């Protein structure tokens, strides 16, 4: 069993069956043996970008996460502390939170973002 954390872009690609999401990532997300997590940071990022008019996305992320059989990953104090202490290879606060959560919870991030590489977090590349 693998424990996967979807980054926001991958979560949205999954919901829309976007062609950018690679076969390997799709198979891992769809595998019922794997546990797939969606962070509260993803819902936060989506709602902010929707409010700014930068993104069109569904409204009820919590219901969608449950319908997909994914697991909600709340943000805790340890996550916040580590996100703030990470080196500034990546300045996006949402991605920094995902990196912190993946490290603390021992999750593999499913992403297409090369900026995750310097953090030495487990990654399943979404484009391959």
Could you tell me if residue 100 is inside a domain? yes
pLDDT in tens, the chain (128 residues): 999 999 999 999 999 999 999 999 999 999 999 999 999 999 999 999 999 999 989 889 999 999 999 999 999 999 999 999 999 887 899 999 999 999 999 999 999 999 999 999 999 999 96
The answer to whether the CB of 35 falls within 8 A of the CB of 3 is yes
Could you tell me if residue 90 is inside a domain? yes
Could you tell me if residue 107 is inside a domain? yes
Could you tell me if residue 12 is inside a domain? yes
- Which pLDDT belongs to residue 93? 94
CATH number at residue 54: 3.40.50.1010
* Rg of the Cα atoms in the chain: 14
Could you tell me if residue 54 is inside a domain? yes
Could you tell me if residue 47 is inside a domain? yes
Query: Domain span at residue 96?
Result: 7-125
User: Structural domain tally of the chain?
Assistant: 1
């Amino acid at each position: 069993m693998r424990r996967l954390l979807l980054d926001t872009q991958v979560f949205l690609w999954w919901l829309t069956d976007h062609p950018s999401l690679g076969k390997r990532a799709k198979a891992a997300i769809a595998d019922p043996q794997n546990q797939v997590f969606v962070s509260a940071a993803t819902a936060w990022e989506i709602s902010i970008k929707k409010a700014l008019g930068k993104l069109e996305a569904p409204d009820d992320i919590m219901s969608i996460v449950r319908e997909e059989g994914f697991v909600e990953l709340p943000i805790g104090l340890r996550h916040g502390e580590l996100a703030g202490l990470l080196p500034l290879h990546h300045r996006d606060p949402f991605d920094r939170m995902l990196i912190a959560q993946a490290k603390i919870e021992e999750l593999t991030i499913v992403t297409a973002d090369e900026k995750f590489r310097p953090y030495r977090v487990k990654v399943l590349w979404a484009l391959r």
